[in-house]
A and B are shown apart, each in its own frame.
Chain A
Amino acid sequence: MRLTESTLSKIDEAILVGIQRGDEAVYKTLFTEYYPVLTTFALKYVSEIDTAKEVVQEVFIKLYRKRESLTIQQSLKAYLFKAVYRTCLNVIDQENRRSRHYQEATLHQSDTEYTDCLEEAEATQRIYRAIEQLPEQCQRIFTMNRFEGLSNQAIADQLNISKRTVETQISKALKLLRKALFLLTVYFLLGSNFF
């Protein structure tokens, strides 16, 4: 493995040593940390969630197999996102392999589009994590609406509570999410440098 830039953070360097050694704990930490956000990111390019998951798994398996000859520029995070992006393009290309319009049909993004997709995936992941932190009842009602697509009336009927209670809980959920995500932006910007 070769580190090409000195901009790698100390944490990245420590992790890279673990990667090179094939340390199971390091791989597990990386995988659990990045699997959901990378899957979200892969879904920008492929349509099926199972395909997206397979792409990300393949990236990790390749990382492990190539660990000794690996070159990482920038950061580990940048490496993983780029690898997922390339693998997605391969999947699309394979689908288009016999096409007479091979060149045009291949999806290549500008740097800005790529960065937008990456940031969107990260934002989605942050919201998901924040939803997981909501108080139990509040979380349940909020996810019934936002994840399962139930109307507030349907939630009220199912939980045998008033529609107004449902609306109050959703309002509470949004306020807590806003507190966690918008009013702590500085914290998240700092935090994102670590990986």
Chain B
Amino acid sequence: MKQNNSLDPTLLIRYLEAKEQLSPNERAEVIQWIQQSPENQQEWEQLKELWEKSGQASHITQVDEESDWYKVWQKMQTPTDPASVRKIPQSYRWVWQVAAAVALLITTIWGVQQFNSSKPTQSARYSYVAQDSLLLVNLPDGSQAYLNEGSELSYNEGFGSQTRTVQLVGEGYFEVVSNATIPFFVHADSTTVRVVGTSFNVKQDGQEIKVTVNSGKVAFSHHQDTLLLDPDEVGIYQPGLQLQELKNSDSNYLSWKTGTLRFDDTLFPQVVRDIARHYKVTVQIDNQALRDLQLTSTFQHQSLATVLEEIAIVLDINYTYQDKHITFFYN
């Protein structure tokens, strides 16, 4: 037991950094070393903990207790009660002027130091853009974000350690790993979604922002206005209005992600809206009578042509498809 086969320490570091980049042999070597003795096991766990926790300490580089102390002391000296302001005798005025000048100098020096020292630790920003297909973003905390085409997700370095904050433009579906100590925030335009662990969809459509909850609870805010949403509830933000809370009537809101369109006695105008959104086409209904039709069918990863063909057969109607525009009509 005492006789440990030694392990190349740099291999352990490469394992911590990106074990998926090691060869199967190298990985086996590390695992074998860990399992060799309880001491190794304990050492490994401590090193791993230090590795993870040290990443969480990075924000402390942005805390400058020396220069902020000065600001705080100034505020402490600012009386809140006007009656307590004392008049300074004329003869002592120069003392205060000198003190103010010294203080200014000190602040300047601190300011310069802070500026210099903040340079090398300036944090990076990570951005993901789903250009012409869906993009799955694996976030550092284990949460996942699926981005719809044309959407963008970004977060700052340090995500997952002290904060979990992302910025979204467009549409994204989030599956958030539960972490009671670090809440997860999604900022979309001027709104914020705050969650602990849940799955939900955020969609920005022009100036409107829609949050649909799949599981768990989310708080959806715009400035002071907050909605607490449960599964199958939708929060809608429109500029100049209070946030609105509705029951989710859109059963296909995740079709962009799942590739599945499900209709269950769905009225034809709704069917047409879902198809238009999913396939990014425009649809026209030529005959008022078509609006009363209902469709029950499920399409999984089907081409638009197949879907149109099936609808035409099932409902006994006709259609034309040209330049991304569909027209439905009776024979």
Contacts and interface: CB of A to CB of B under 8 A. Distances in A.
Interface of A: 24, 27-28, 31-32, 35-36, 39-40, 43-45, 47-49, 53, 57, 60-61, 64-65, 94-101, 104-105, 107, 109, 113, 116-117, 120, 123-125, 127-128, 131, 142-143, 145-149, 151-152, 164, 167-168, 170-171, 174-175, 177-178, 181-182
Interface size class of chain B, counting residues whose CB lies under 8 Å from the partner chain? 35 or more
B60 A124 contact: yes
Contact of B224 (A95, A104, A148): A95
B43 A31 contact: no
Residue among A43, A47, A97, A181 with max Cβ neighbours from chain B (10 Å): A47
Contacts, number: 165
A100 B165 CA distance: 24
Contacts of A147: 55, 57-58, 61, 121
Interface stretch (B64-72, B103-111, B311-319): B64-72
Given A47-B165, A105-B228, A113-B180, A61 B10 contact: no
Contact of B124 (A97, A101, A148, A174): A148
Interface of B: 9-10, 12-14, 17, 43, 46-47, 50-51, 53-63, 65-66, 68-69, 71-73, 75-76, 80, 120-121, 123-124, 157-158, 162-165, 180-183, 185, 194, 217, 219, 221, 224-228
B46 A182 contact: yes
Contacts of A182: 46
A175 B10 CA distance: 12
A44 B228 CA distance: 20
20 contacts: A28-B73, A31-B65, A32-B66, A49-B163, A53-B63, A57-B68, A96-B219, A98-B226, A99-B227, A99-B228, A116-B181, A117-B181, A146-B58, A147-B121, A151-B17, A164-B10, A170-B13, A177-B50, A178-B43, A178-B46
B46 A36 contact: no
A105 B245 CA distance: 15
A57 B71 contact: yes
A120 B50 contact: no
B227 to A, nearest CB: 7
A56 to B, nearest CB: 9
Contact of B181 (A44, A127, A149): A44
Contact of A168 (B10, B17, B63): B10
B13 A100 contact: no
